[in-house]
Structure 1
Amino acid sequence: MKTLVVIGQGYVGLPMALRAAEEGMSVVGLDTNAKVVDNLNAGVSHIDDISDDELKSGLKAGYLASTDASCIADADVVVVCVPTPLSADGGPDLRPVEAAAGAIGEHLTPGTLCILESTTYPGTTEEVFAPLVCRDQFKVGEDVNIAFSPERIDPGNEKFGVKNTPKVVGGITPECTRLAKEFYSQFIDTVVEAKGAKEAEMAKLLENTFRHVNIALVNEMVRFSDELDIDLWNAIDCAETKPFGFMAFRPGPGVGGHCIPVDPSYLSHRVKAKLGYAFRMVELAEEINDAAPNYVATRVWALLNQGRKSVNGAKVLLVGVTYKPNISDCRESPADPLAARLLAWGADVSYFDPFVPKWHPHGVDVVLESVEELYDTAEGADIVVLLQPHAVIDLSRLGTIATAILDTRGIMSGNSVEAL
C-alpha cells in the first residue's frame, strides 16, 4: 500500500485524494488553511463535487487532512495541486508552487515520486519545481522522480470525474514518466504518456487555448450577426449537422472559471518572455472575451431603450452569477464586470442564484443577496438577463412571466425573449 500526500485540498486535490483512498492508499491531504483541514477531518466538504457523505467515506477508507508538512517524509508519492493565479505581469503566480516545492524539499526522502499538477507554462516543472524539490541534494531520475500531470477536473460534470477522465503524464526522464503512469493507473482508467514534462504542460494549455480562441470567434460573430439580422444560434445548429470538420461553440456573456480566462495567458506570457514576440491569437481572444460582458450590458441598454425605458433606475435581474451552471464557483465570472457596468449606469441590479446566497461583484462596493422569489422578482423587473441556466430554474415559466429577457445562452423561447 502506497502512502500518498496531496498538497492542496481544493477542487483538484480533494477529489484525487479521496479517489486514491478509495483504492486502498493511505492518503494525507495537506493544506495551509487550518479551518479547511479541521472541517475536512470533521467530514464537512467545501467543494461542490464532493458531498459530506463522500468525504466521510474517504475518512473511513484512509484519508486524513493535515497542515503538518512533515508527513512528506513518509510519502511514497507527493502530488501538488495548488492554485496558480495570474500575477500582475500576466504570467502565473508561482509562489504557491514554489512554497509547495520548498516544503517537499525540506522533508524529501530518496525514492519519492513528486508530481506537479498545477497549471503553468511549459518548463516550470524542470526549471522551477525540480530545483526546489531536489535542493542540490538529489538527482532527478535516480534519487527522486519528478513528473507533470495536468489537472482535468471539470467542476459540476456528472459524466466525467477523476476515475474516467484520461490522465496525461510527462516525466523529466523516461523513468519518471513510467513511475507516474504506474501510480495513476492504480485509480484512473486511462493514463496517456507524453514525450516529457514540457509536452504534458503544453497539452493542458493547448486544450484551454483551443476553447478560448473558439469561444472568442463566436463571441465576435454574434455581434455583427445581430447587426446584420442573422440568427447566429440557428447558423451554429445548422453547421453542427456536418459530421466532420466542425465542432460547435456557442456565444455567451464571457468566459470564467479557473482555466479558460487564465491558462492561455501563461502561454502568451511565456512566448513573449522567452522569444520576444506576441502570441497574437491568444491576445486577440482575450480582448474579445474580456469585452463580452460589456457587450451584454450594451444589449441590455438597447432592449430597455426599445421599451422606452432608461437604464438609469431600471430594475435589472441577473439570473445565475457563477461561471458555469449548477456549481457555486464565481471565479472570474463574467457576471462581475456585467454587474459593475450596469451599476455604473445607475441600474437597480438584483440577482438570483441558488448556489450563491451573497455576492460581492468585483469592482463595486456593494454586497448583494440573492432574491428569494425568482419568478415574482422577474415579473416585476424591467429586464431579466439569463447568464447561467441552473437546473433548478424553470426556463419555460421564466419566459412567460418576464417583460423582457436577454438570453445569453440561446436556449429560451418566447415573445419576450431576445437571444444575445
Structure 2
Amino acid sequence: MTIDETLLGEIRAAVADRREETVAFLSDIVAEPSLLGQEASAQDRIETEFRSLDLAIDRFEPDLEEIRTLPGFSPTVLDSYAGRENVVGLHTPSEPKGRSLILNGHIDVVPTGPESLWTTPPFQPTIRDGRVYGRGAGDMKSGIAAYCAAIHALRALGLQPAAPVFLQSVIEEECTGNGALSCLARGYKADAAVIPEPFDQSLLVGQLGVMWLTVRITGKPAHVLDTSAGINAIEAAYALFDALRGLEAEWNEPAHRHALYRDHVHPVNFNLGRIEGGDWASSVPCTAAVDIRVGFYPGMTLSAVKAALEGRIDQAVRERRELKGATVAVEYRGFQAEGCVMATDTPLMTTLSAAHQRIAGAPIATMASTATTDARFFEIYGGIPATCYGAVGGGYHGIDEWVSIDSMMQVAEVLALFVAEWCGLEQRP
C-alpha cells in the first residue's frame, strides 16, 4: 500500500514520541553483558519488550542435532546451547492481506578488550553528544531498539501490520550465525527479511564470506642454552601466518576480485585474532595455536577456500625455515559462512529504498560489506530476499563503541514506513 503524506507525518511524529523510551530500552539492553554464552539476561529484557508489543513469544534453544546437518551450519565455538535462547515475537494480523516480514537482530556482543581503555565502562551505557556509548550500542542492539520503536509507533496510532511479522533476537551472529539458522529450521519464513545492522543507513547489496580456522603447531622443546636444538612453535606460527598473507594479497589483486569489490581499497582481510603457546620463558616453546579469520568473495565455495588455505599451509611447512620439522594440524570451528549478493531490483530493495528517500530526503547509498551478517541465511538458504539497513555508529569491536541517537530514530521512521507499505496496515483490535 502507499502511505499518504498525512499518515506519513503521523508515523514520523509517533516515532519521535518514542525517543526517550527507545533510548532507555537501548540503554537497558546495552547494560546486559550479552557476551558469548551470557545472553540470557539480555534476552529476558527483549522478551519483556516484545510482550509490551502484545506479541506472542517463542523462546527456544538452538537444537544442535537438528541444525548441524543443514546448509549454512558452522561448527560451534561453545559445546552447548543449554540456557542460550533465541527470542521471537510473533505478530498475527486480524485479516492477513499484506506481505509477511522478518525483522531480525542479534543480541550477542564481542569482548570489550581492556576496560581501562574505555572512557566509561563498556556495559555502563552513557549518553553524550547525541550518542549512546557502550558495547553493543551500535552492533547491533540499536537495530533491535529501532525495529521495536517502529512497531510501537504504529500501535500508538491504533494500527498494526496487516501481515505476519516476526521480530527475532538471535544469538551467535558474531561467531557462527547458528541462532539465525535455527530460526529457519524452526519454520520461520516470510516474504522478506530486514536486519538493522549499523551500516550508516546504507543498503546492503553484498557481503564477503568468512571462515575461522585454528592452526595447531607442535615443534620441539629445548633449553635456551641451545635454541637451535628445538623448534619454536610460536615463531613457526608467525611464519605460517606470514605465508597466508601471500594468499590474502593474491585475493586482493584486481584480477581476482568480485565485481562488487572492484573499487574497494582492500576488501579481503586475513586476521590473526588469537594466539597461545609455550609454557616457560627459558624453554623453546613446543606448542602454539592460532585462531585466524579469513575473508573471501561471493561465489567462492567453502571447499575451495579450505583447499587454498591448506595448500598454502602445506607449502609453508615444506619451505619456511621456522616450520621445518614442525607438525601442523588445521581445525575449523566458528564461521564457515558463504558470501552472498543481494539483487537490487527486488520489491524488498525498491520499497525500502523508497522509504529511506521519503524520510531522509536523499537517495539511499548502497554498500558491499567486507564482513558477514545473518542476511546470508535468508538469502542463500531460506529463499527469502534480505538486506541490512541500520544506524550510524562507530567503534564496533573496538573501544568506546557508539551509535547516533538521531540516526537510530530515523532508521525507526524508515522501518515504520517500510512496514506500513510492505505489510499493509489494519486497525488494532
Which TM-score tier does this pair reach, normalised by the shorter chain? Answer: under 0.3
| Structure with the bigger percentage of strand | 2
The TM-score normalised by the length of structure 2 is 0.27
TM-score by length of 1: 0.28
Higher relative CO (CA 8 A, sep ≥ 6), structure 1 or 2?
2
